[in-house]
Amino acid sequence: MRKFLLAILTSLLTLSAFAQFDSFAGFYKGEQSGTKKYPLNMSPDIYAEVYKGGDSYRLKILADILCRGDEYCVVEGLKAENGEIKLVDAGALKLNGKITPEGIEATGVYDKDPIKLSLKRYKYESPTLGAKAPAGAIVLFDGKDTSKWELCANKQPINWIINGDGSMTVKNDAKKPDGKPLNSSIQTKDVFGAFKLHLEFMTPGEYDKFGQARSNSGVIMGPYEVQILDSFGDTGANNQCGSLYRQTPPQSNACLEPGAWQTYDIIYTPAKFNGKTLVAYPTFTVYLNGVRIHNETPVTYGTSISEYMAKKNNFQHPTKGISIQLQDHTNPIKFRNIWLQAL
């Protein structure tokens, strides 16, 4: 009975993390008018990004999203009250108005010209969301069957939560025989050479956490990791979502807000050898939410170690197939629609 109640409590806590998505956090899209100054006068289109950290919000007024581009205004430390966030002479644009979960209405000043902003909430959806496995592909997770996976630590059946929406959630309650915690990262039972991998994931609303503690997981392919993290609104550094972990940052931050289903489409080309001599590094082409963030990017050593340690320990790239891991980093990330196509 105690184990049963504990299992129910764990499930409820996991569900609560996903139920508590913030109503303001996300993208907004609309129009600006009034200014005749470059570059805002080039297009009426304007975007905004609202990020939540702790009990406050950050607003960015942007030329575009999911790319590195102009930030016209950044306002930190905003507070929500009575269902809205008030803007009072806010940021470089001296914005006055309000943010609601439905939109942003504000006036301000851009280079001495008056400016008016009118934006509606914008739900971006990846063009590969829900992509079906092509003929001949291997379906690794279809929403029910987990038989192609095992716990990395002991090769036992996985313990993750299977949800009614066709997804599974990281669950870190595995135990060693002595009762001590056992990491619940999972891996494919099979290994693969060159491949294209599709998977979809959702980060929970862990707004009180920051940095690597905020909805962390990863797609680990042999010694190489493509990072999963709630990096919405962040800079796109080499340890954030989309990075070849701690080695190469994404070309742009294409991460969506917590609660949005996101997609990875990853093409892996193994290292090439002439006998035992390495002649070409392995490469990754990665699309996050349909945006190409790596293009045949070489990986010169394992992403869990530094270049110094790689040289010190004479790191060797795999000469055979590699397994695919989904990382348990204690955060309840959801995964669904996982398939692999051999290349």
Q: What is the pLDDT of residues 55-85, one digit of tens each?
A: 999 999 999 999 999 999 999 999 999 999 9
Average pLDDT estimate for 128-143: 98
Residue 214 located in a structural domain = yes
Is 304 found in the same domain as 193?
A: yes
pLDDT at 11 over 80: no
Residue 8 lies in a domain: no
Please state, in angstroms and as integers, the Cα–Cα distance from residue 338 to each residue in 148, 199, 335, following that order: 11, 4, 8
Tell me whether residue 131 is in a domain. no
Q: Is residue 21 part of a domain?
A: no
Tell me: pLDDT of 23 over 50. yes
Indicate if 213 and 299 belong to the same structural domain.
yes
One domain, residues 100 and 188: no
Last residue of one domain, picked from the residues 59, 89, 122: 122
**Is it the case that residue 275 has pLDDT exceeding 60?**
yes
Instruction: Write down which residue in 69, 90, 122 finishes a domain.
Output: 122
11 secondary structure, DSSP code: H
- Confidence band of 181 (pLDDT split at 50, 70, 90): confident
State the pLDDT at residue 1: 45
Q: Are 196 and 325 in a shared domain? A: yes
Residues 115 and 153 in one domain: no
Mean pLDDT, rounded, of the chain: 93
Confidence of residue 180 (pLDDT cuts 50, 70, 90): confident
State the CATH number of the domain containing residue 275.
2.60.120.560
pLDDT (tens digit per residue) in 282-311: 999 999 999 999 999 999 999 988 999 999
Which domain range does residue 48 map to? 26-122
**Is 166 a member of any domain?**
yes
Determine, yes or no, domain membership for 188.
yes
In terms of phi and psi (left: phi > 0; alpha: psi -120 to 50; beta: otherwise), the region of 22 is beta
Domains contained in the chain, number: 2
Residue 116 half-sphere exposure toward CB, CA atoms < 13 A: 3
pLDDT at 84: 98
User: Is residue 146's pLDDT more than 80?
Assistant: yes
Dihedral angle sign, alpha carbons of residues 238, 244, 246, 248: negative
- Cα(336)–Cα(7) distance, rounded to whole angstroms? 22
Q: Are residues 142 and 86 in the same domain?
A: no
188 and 105 in a common domain: no
- Asked whether residue 9 is domain-assigned, the answer is no
State the burial class of residue 322 (Cβ atoms within 10 Å of its Cβ: 0-12, 13-18, 19+).
buried
HEC readout, 69-122? CCEEEEEEEECEECCEEEEEEECCCCEEEEEECCEEEEEEEECCEEEEEEEEEE
Query: What's this model's pTM, rounded to 2 decimal places?
Result: 0.92
Task: Name the band, by pLDDT with cuts 50, 70 and 90, for residue 173.
Answer: confident
Q: Do 172 and 98 reside in the same domain of the chain?
A: no
**Residue at which a domain ends, from 95, 122, 149:** 122
- Are 177 and 314 in the same domain? yes
- Report the number of secondary-structure helices (H) and strands (E) in the chain: 2, 24
Q: Do 113 and 160 belong to one domain?
A: no
Structure confidence by residue, pLDDT tens digits, 96-119: 999 999 999 999 999 999 999 999
Measured in degrees and rounded to the nearest 5, phi and psi for residue 299 equal -115, 115
Within a domain: 10: no
What pLDDT, on a 0 to 100 scale, did the predictor assign at position 19?
52
Q: Are residue 182 and residue 86 in the same domain, yes or no?
A: no
